[in-house]
Amino acid sequence: MGSEGLELKIEFCGLGFNSPLVLLSGCVGFGNEYTRVEGFSHRDVGAVCLKGTTLEPRLGNPPHRIAETEGGMLNAIGLQNPGVDHVVSEILPGLDFSETRFIANVSGSTVEEYQEVTRRFDDSPIDAMELNISCPNVKEGGVAFGNDPEMSARVVEACRGVTRKPLITKLSPNQTDIAENARRCIEAGSDALAVINTLMGMAVDIESRQPVIGNNQGGLSGPAIKPVALLKVHQVYQVAKRHGIPIIGQGGVTSAEDALEFLIAGASAVGLGTGLFYDPLAPARINLGIMEYLQRHQLGTLAELTGSLRLHQ
């Protein structure tokens, strides 16, 4: 049975997805890089999240920007991108929207910038928008929007006012109460949640006694963060299910077993990121494993798995 089988087709925020797999922002550029990989097919993925986009072009952080760690990777790219106008006018026209869904990643350093980037993507063929609220708020001393529920809600509310396209808020794990943040974002108008963004971390060069990353710290991704991500998905699901809000569960997924864990914990879709760097053909393999699981357990739909976690009493 092929990975494009009906068993894995889902509806997410009113959008039809080929499968529950979403390629995560920052890992597939602006959506056309993976078409160069022999054997890769957009039919194996439900959606592709484009690279973080700001209002004006950004050069990003000084090197080093990436460092491999035990069971994961640190990155501090710094949102290098050509700006939203270039993405809308030059990049989106080159994408094949008949093959899969494309989700813009909206980033900014002020509420007003988030709103304006959202406005410009609203007047484009993009299918949905992911709000990257882990960006630092320059008006509040650099505190990340996503680490404060009030600031998170302000961003969502501002963006909700300028678009009717689905908004997916990407929640940070670097906060005290992620469930409360999720509640505030839902009430402000978020249609879905992506759980989680990277954890903050550091690597040290013992010879120079300096951080390996030029930005001193970076976002930790990969298998090392999966246990944290699963717990956060479970916690957010307790809030999201009351509002009928779907979750993209992400953080360290490299296998069908990983994806199934996220679905059981409460996700409706599953994000693939760091794992794509060493296995760009992972989606087809993971889809096959999910289908085999459904058949083995005589389940007709993925929805039967979402939130089916049986907690110990």
| Identity of residue 7 | E
The answer to whether residue 135 is catalytic is yes
Burial 199-234, CB ≥16 within 10 A → b, else e: bbbebeeeeeeebbbbbeebbbbbbbbbeebbbbbb
Residue 242 to residue 94: CA distance in whole angstroms: 39
Q: Which of 13, 27, 49, 135 is catalytic?
A: 135
Q: What is the 3-state secondary structure (H, E, C) of 150-186?
A: HHHHHHHHHHHCCCCCCEEEEECCCCCCHHHHHHHHH
> Of 27, 51, 19, 22, which Cα lies nearest the Cα of 221?
27
Residue 112 to residue 110: CA distance in whole angstroms: 5
Task: Show Cβ contacts of residue 295 under 8 Å, excluding neighbours closer than 6 positions.
Answer: none
- Active-site residues: which are they? 135
